[in-house]
Structure 1
Amino acid sequence: MRGRCVAWSVAAVLSAKASVALAADDPLKVCLDEDRPPLSVHHRGKPDAGFDVLLARAIAERLGRPLKIQWFESRLDEDSSPQLEANALLSDGRCSLVGSYALTQDSLVAPGMKTARLPDFAGATRDDRRRRVPLGVLAPSQPYIYSPMTVVLGPKARGRKVGDIGDLAGLRLAIESGSLGDAILMSFDRGRLIDNITHLVPRRDDLLGALERGDHDATLIDLARFDAYRAAHPDTAITASGYYYPIGANRGYVGLASDGALIEAVNKALAELTTSGKIAEFGKQADLTYLPPREPAILGDVWTKIIQR
C-alpha cells in the first residue's frame, strides 16, 4: 500500500512538472488592432510595429512564454462595439488578452446581450464571420498608458495659447459627428462654441487633412491619432497645442474574469516594466507621446462629467 502511495506521489509530481512545462510552451495570445498606429500596425509584407507590439513582447518575455499576436480589424456596423469585439475574441479563445483597451466603467460592465459576432481577424473563415459567440465577463489589468484628448491647431492658428476649451472661441472648429470630441465641444459652456463648429462625417471626410489645408483652425482628437498623423506627415503644418482635455481614459489589457491568474501575472510584469522605465521607452520607440496612467484607474461616467463641465 505504501509503495502504491509513493508511486501516486511521484506520478503527481511528474504530472505537475509536465503541466508547468506545457504552460511555458503555450503562447501568450494577445489580440491587437491591425491598423491603429502608433499603438499597433500590421501590414502584409512589413514587420509588425507599434507601442503595443513592443509591450506585448516584453510581457511575454517576463512570463517566459512565446508571443502570438492575433490581429483583428474593428467592424464598422451598428451591431458592434469595442467592448463586444474584445469580449467575443476572448470568449472564442482567439486570445487571452486584448491590448490598449479603454478602462472605463461602461466598457467593463457585463454585456447586455448574451452573444456577439467576431470582428474580422487574421485567419477568419466564412463561418467565423457569420457565427455569434457566447460572451463572458471582462476583467482589466492595471493601466499602462493614459490616453487623453488634445487640441490640434491648423496653420492659421499656429501659436494660439490653449489652456481651456474656452480659449477656442473665435476659431473655426471642425469635429467628427458623434465623436467624444463632438460632445465636448457642443456642450461646452451651454453651447457657447456651437456657431463656430463644422461637423465632418467620420471615415468619409479627412479631418486632419482639412485642418492641414487651412479649411479649419482647430479640432479636438485623441492624442495617439495626432501622433500617427504626425509620423505619416513629418512636414505637417498642423501643430499640437499642448492642451489635454482633463477627462481622459487609461488603457490597459483586458481578459476574461475566469483567467484571474493570468491578469495577476500580467500586472506583476507591467509593474516591473513601469519601474524600469521600459514602458516609457517603448513609447519613444513607437513615436508615441507617452503619458503614464492617472487616477482614477478606471474612468467613471464620461458623459455626465462632460455635460456638467
Structure 2
Amino acid sequence: MSGRLALGLAALLAALATPARAADALSICLDEDRPPLSVHHKDALDTGFDVLLAQAIAERIGRPLKIQWFESKLDEDSSPQLEANALLSDGRCALVGGYALTQDSLVKPGMKTARLPDFTGATREDRRRRVALGVLAPSRPYVYSPMTVVLGPKAQGRKIKDIGDLAGLRLAIESGSLGDAVLMTFDKGRLIDGITHLVPGRDDLLGTLARGDHDATLIDLARFDAYRAAHPDTAITASGYYYPIGANRGYVGLASDGALIEAVNKALAALAAEGKIAEFGKQAGLTYLPPREPAILGDVWMKIIQR
C-alpha cells in the first residue's frame, strides 16, 4: 500500500470514528427504588422524575441514554457520598442523579477506597472488591428537596408553622437521620420526651404514623410524595410546613470530566427556562420546588444546632 493511500485510509477511518464517539451513550446512575424520583421496573418502563430529566438531558446533548441502576441501602451505615464516588470512579456511569448538593457531600473523601453499592449486572467479585475513589464535581441544581412535617390521623388540622408547634405530640423519627438531629436538638432538647426512635430500613415510619401509633414526623418531602402515591387513601396528611434548612439536588460527576458537567449545565439551564423540569415533576407526582440559594448547602449539622 502506498504512503498516500495509507494516509487517505487513515483519514477516512478517523472521520468515521468521530461521529461514533459523539454517539457514545450518556451513562447516568440512578437509585432503583426511590419513588417518585426514580424507579426501575423489570417488566415495564422505568419511571420517575430523574428518569424523565435524564432522557431530556441526553437528548439535549445529542447522546443516547444508558441508565445504570443501583440499590442504596436505607440504614445508618450507608454513605450516599461514597456510593456515588465508587460508581463514578469505577466507570459504571459518568453522572449520578438526584445527588444532595451539600459541602460535606462534595469534599474529598477521607478514605482512599470504598465498596460499590449493589447495581444491575454486578458480579460476586464486584460485591467484594474496593474501588479507588476520585474527586466529585457537581452540576447546577435542578430541584429543591426540603424536609416536611407529616401528621398522623389524630393530629389532622394541627397548625405547624415552626418545629416548636410539635410540642405535646407523639413524634416518631428514624435514628441517625437529619430529622432526628433537628428534633433532638430543637430548643435545647425541648421535644426529646415525646420522641420515639425507629430503625431505618426495619421499621415502617409512615406506616406507624398511618396506624395512629404516632402523631407526627419530619421527613424528606419526596418520600411523603411516594407514600401518598402508593397509599392514596392514607390517613396521614401534609402539614404544609417545610423546615427552612433544605438541600438542592443535582448531578455529580468526577472533577476530571469537566466538559460533561458544563454540557449538562447548559442543558439544565435551557430545560428550566422552558418550564420542562417543573413539568417532569408534575408528571412523576413530585411536589416540585425550584432550586434555592445557596446552590450548595454549607455545614448543615452546624446550621441545625445553631437554630
- TM-score, normalised via structure 1 length: 0.94
- Which shows bigger deviation, 163-172 or 221-230? 163-172
2:198 counterpart residue number: 200
Query: Superposed, which structure 2 residues align to 1:143-154 within 5 Å?
Result: 143-154=141-152
Deviation digits for residues 240-280 of structure 1 (CA, Å, limit 9, x no counterpart): 01100000000000000110000000000000000000000
Give me the whole-angstrom Cα distance separating, in 2, the residues matched to 1:261 and 1:116. 26
1:221 counterpart residue number: 219
The SS at the match of 1:47 is: coil
Of 146, 157, 160, 1:159 maps to 157
Task: Report the CA distance between 1:202 and its aligned residue.
Answer: 1.4
Task: Report the CA distance between 1:45 and its aligned residue.
Answer: 1.1
Task: Report the CA distance between 1:15 and its aligned residue.
Answer: 6.7
5+ residue gaps, structure 2: none
Task: Report the CA distance between 1:236 and its aligned residue.
Answer: 0.8
Write the letter of the residue equivalent to 1:25.
A
Task: Report the CA distance between 1:178 and its aligned residue.
Answer: 1.1
Of 119, 128, 132, 2:117 maps to 119
1:3 counterpart residue number: none
1:59 equivalenced with 2:49 (yes/no): no
Write the letter of the residue equivalent to 1:89.
L
1:48 counterpart residue number: 46
Write the letter of the residue equivalent to 1:120.
D
Task: Report the CA distance between 1:131 and its aligned residue.
Answer: 1.0
Of 13, 37, 40, 1:39 maps to 37
The SS at the match of 1:143 is: coil
Write the letter of the residue equivalent to 1:235.
D
1:254 counterpart residue number: 252
Deviation digits for residues 15-41 of structure 1 (CA, Å, limit 9, x no counterpart): 764454123220000000000000000
The SS at the match of 2:289 is: coil
The SS at the match of 1:23 is: helix
Of 176, 187, 190, 2:188 maps to 190
1:265 equivalenced with 2:274 (yes/no): no
Seen in structure 2, the aligned counterparts of structure 1 residues 77 and 203 have a Cα distance that, compared at 3 Å, is closer
Write the letter of the residue equivalent to 1:291.
L
Does the aligned pair in 1 maintain the 2:76–2:175 contact within 8 Å?
no
2:82 counterpart residue number: 84
The SS at the match of 1:142 is: coil
Give me the whole-angstrom Cα distance separating, in 2, the residues matched to 1:67 and 1:95. 11
Task: Report the CA distance between 1:75 and its aligned residue.
Answer: 4.1
Seen in structure 2, the aligned counterparts of structure 1 residues 76 and 282 have a Cα distance that, compared at 3 Å, is closer
Give the total of aligned pairs. 306
Does the aligned pair in 2 maintain the 1:151–1:243 contact within 8 Å?
yes
Deviation digits for residues 107-134 of structure 1 (CA, Å, limit 9, x no counterpart): 1011111111111110011111111111
Give me the whole-angstrom Cα distance separating, in 1, the residues matched to 2:76 and 2:189. 28
Seen in structure 2, the aligned counterparts of structure 1 residues 37 and 303 have a Cα distance that, compared at 3 Å, is same
Give me the whole-angstrom Cα distance separating, in 2, the residues matched to 1:262 and 1:150. 34
Does the aligned pair in 1 maintain the 2:76–2:200 contact within 8 Å?
no
Seen in structure 2, the aligned counterparts of structure 1 residues 214 and 134 have a Cα distance that, compared at 3 Å, is same
1:300 equivalenced with 2:294 (yes/no): no
- Which shows bigger deviation, 246-255 or 12-21? 12-21
Seen in structure 2, the aligned counterparts of structure 1 residues 109 and 7 have a Cα distance that, compared at 3 Å, is farther
Does the aligned pair in 1 maintain the 2:74–2:200 contact within 8 Å?
no
The SS at the match of 1:170 is: coil
Give me the whole-angstrom Cα distance separating, in 1, the residues matched to 2:75 and 2:205. 21
Seen in structure 2, the aligned counterparts of structure 1 residues 197 and 117 have a Cα distance that, compared at 3 Å, is same
Give me the whole-angstrom Cα distance separating, in 2, the residues matched to 1:98 and 1:191. 37
Deviation digits for residues 218-251 of structure 1 (CA, Å, limit 9, x no counterpart): 1000000000000000011111011000000000
1:241 counterpart residue number: 239
Task: Report the CA distance between 1:204 and its aligned residue.
Answer: 1.5
Seen in structure 2, the aligned counterparts of structure 1 residues 194 and 25 have a Cα distance that, compared at 3 Å, is same
The SS at the match of 1:280 is: helix
